[in-house]
Structure 1
């Protein structure tokens, strides 16, 4: 029986890597027992902000809460390791910075397609029932990936891998099969606090804790209303997500972009989009530009809102005219962001002109 399990695991690993996964591990369905309580505490603090779907804690807290027949969880990681420094555009205020994960194809589609192919192979090979998940279901992917040996949750709460750094998309297969498990991963952050120190908005109240309400990724992607004024200058030219806490992790030195799934090679138009172009987007052009990208789900309004904030931080006079066209936008959130951006530009440009006169 054990020989059969080991052989199945070897074949499963080989098939997963052939489908483009860089990492795979297996954990028993009950391998992350503390996840439910930690989730309850986090939700009780309100740190999830507007992400009300996280409140389905009974189903999210454990695999059995979602599907009672699950025996094993297969955790999988697909690499999107960047070939260049994700922070390089911080000094280019005329362009918007898009998080590395969103510069290529939509990971939901790519990972789910590979998960389904692996699931079909597993059923054909070993039988059993199963379900596949990537991001959109109430699944605690990171604790389960840690339990399955893929890596550990770092002080920024994201998964860190010894071989792929911070750059893994996670997916999971729940199966009724009793598969040979891997040893859970141990944490290797040590005394390092690079991710905490790098956060522009102090979104980490303590190591291993995230207040999403202060996180730039949350503010530019999940948050639907006006971005709170206290965070706008810190956003800089980030228009979709933020890579700062991920990019500074020392474990990234072991991540090799050659392991990146080719679907996630950045699209040229998403690497450094000019803010002027983003400010000019209407609904149709937004859908055209971001077709096939995870960015499409936030809609034109949030993208232009983000671009208006970035324009206000740019100190560039050539962005005044594009912002002026938005002050009467039919979306009041966009209009307000444009007015704020214009006020910021007026202030920064006056200061820059006055600076040479100061002694």
Structure 2
């Protein structure tokens, strides 16, 4: 089989497994990506994601990751949501979960399909293959742009003229000399809808993301208390954030019927905050089995839920937060304190603080009580 025929077979096989598009890039096609990554790391925009710095050399050049690779096939899977998927944002007593996390963990779903495609290609054309779905130091978005699948928009995510912004990316590294596709050019123009939509101003400039202000980072990757000045902007987003994706004008050209390719869990569309806040570790693991949410862990997740409760302005949720003041996790207790500082009257908060501060042995939780007292004094 010629390299051209192998590439044609790959595209047909990928379409048969539900992928929206396939493109091929040379391993040396992202020469500028390493420099952009170095600037982001120097500016501290990666936050606590130290692995980005530790693997920077391999990310910047796929040939460092696998010197034998002759081509990188990039595959895009459209997970675009159905109409009405963002109703939770207007229901403050409910949690808003990022669209991708309402399905079974995409790492598992797509990697199985990639292995079938790669195995079929090896049996027909020979060569060696390695498949990756966000599980290795691969800069998927620059490679996808180099492979012609789309371009990195001002929100730094990949945008496709045919499939919009709702894309999972996966890669097949191969020793086969597959012919590369032409890179896509930028079609954002003067539009800045994604930048203006960010609730926490996480974009210091177009095409640059400061993860330290990004709700997806804060609710998923960040291990400690969420910075106080960013909590209000989070609203009821308890796992990830889709605002910059959902406003992209190119989504209107996305393929129809895409939701049928992945089955979303209806119970994750707008789950009640009152239920989620009460999950212990065992219940959390059982409830989110097979979901990417499980990897974040119970304490971080309940922290997020309590921040949302604090933003709800719903006094009926105060008892839910109060129950978490005795939680074994300082992270959860601190978030509960903040929620109550916004839901309780000043007199009640001050009385509870006096008792709590006498027995609280965690410095960060104590700081939350003191900050709440200061907040009420300012009012």
Question: What is the TM-score when the length of structure 1 is the normalising length?
Answer: 0.94
1:60-113 deviation digits (Å, cap 9, x = unpaired): 111001111111000001110111244432210010000001001110001111
Aligned equivalent of 2:150: 151
Structure 1 residues 57, 276: closer, same or farther in 2, change over 3 A?
A: same
How far the C-alpha of 1:256 sits from its partner, in A, is: 3.1
SS at match of 1:29: coil
More divergent stretch after superposition (189-198 vs 114-123): 114-123
Does 1 or 2 have the higher relative contact order (CA < 8 Å, sep 6+)?
A: 1
Measured in 1, the distance between the counterparts of 2:208 and 2:245 equals: 15
How far the C-alpha of 1:40 sits from its partner, in A, is: 1.1
SS at match of 2:337: helix
2:39 aligns with one of 35, 38, 41: 41
Contact kept in structure 2, 1:106 and 1:292, CA below 8 Å: yes
Structure 1 residues 207, 184: closer, same or farther in 2, change over 3 A?
A: same
More divergent stretch after superposition (248-257 vs 178-187): 248-257
Alignment of 1:1-359 (within 5 A): 4-55=2-53, 56-260=55-259, 262-263=261-262, 265-346=263-344
Contact kept in structure 2, 1:82 and 1:257, CA below 8 Å: no
Aligned equivalent of 1:357: none
How far the C-alpha of 1:230 sits from its partner, in A, is: 0.3
1:142-165 deviation digits (Å, cap 9, x = unpaired): 000000011000000000011111
Aligned equivalent of 1:353: none
Contact kept in structure 2, 1:79 and 1:261, CA below 8 Å: no
Measured in 2, the distance between the counterparts of 1:6 and 1:171 equals: 21
Structure 1 residues 185, 230: closer, same or farther in 2, change over 3 A?
A: same
Structure 1 residues 67, 26: closer, same or farther in 2, change over 3 A?
A: same
Measured in 1, the distance between the counterparts of 2:331 and 2:144 equals: 38
Aligned equivalent of 2:365: none
Structure 1 residues 343, 162: closer, same or farther in 2, change over 3 A?
A: same
Measured in 2, the distance between the counterparts of 1:43 and 1:110 equals: 31
Contact kept in structure 2, 1:279 and 1:322, CA below 8 Å: yes
Aligned-CA RMSD value: 1.4
How far the C-alpha of 1:257 sits from its partner, in A, is: 4.6
SS at match of 1:49: coil
SS at match of 1:174: strand
Contact kept in structure 2, 1:80 and 1:257, CA below 8 Å: no
Measured in 1, the distance between the counterparts of 2:241 and 2:85 equals: 9
1:266-323 deviation digits (Å, cap 9, x = unpaired): 2011111100011000011101111111110001001100000000010112211111
Measured in 2, the distance between the counterparts of 1:125 and 1:154 equals: 36
Measured in 1, the distance between the counterparts of 2:227 and 2:85 equals: 25
Contact kept in structure 2, 1:80 and 1:261, CA below 8 Å: no
How far the C-alpha of 1:260 sits from its partner, in A, is: 3.8
Aligned length in residues? 346
Unaligned regions of 5+ residues in structure 2, if any? 349-379
How far the C-alpha of 1:180 sits from its partner, in A, is: 1.3
Contact kept in structure 2, 1:78 and 1:261, CA below 8 Å: no
Measured in 2, the distance between the counterparts of 1:257 and 1:270 equals: 22
SS at match of 2:191: coil
Structure 1 residues 33, 260: closer, same or farther in 2, change over 3 A?
A: farther
Measured in 1, the distance between the counterparts of 2:4 and 2:14 equals: 15
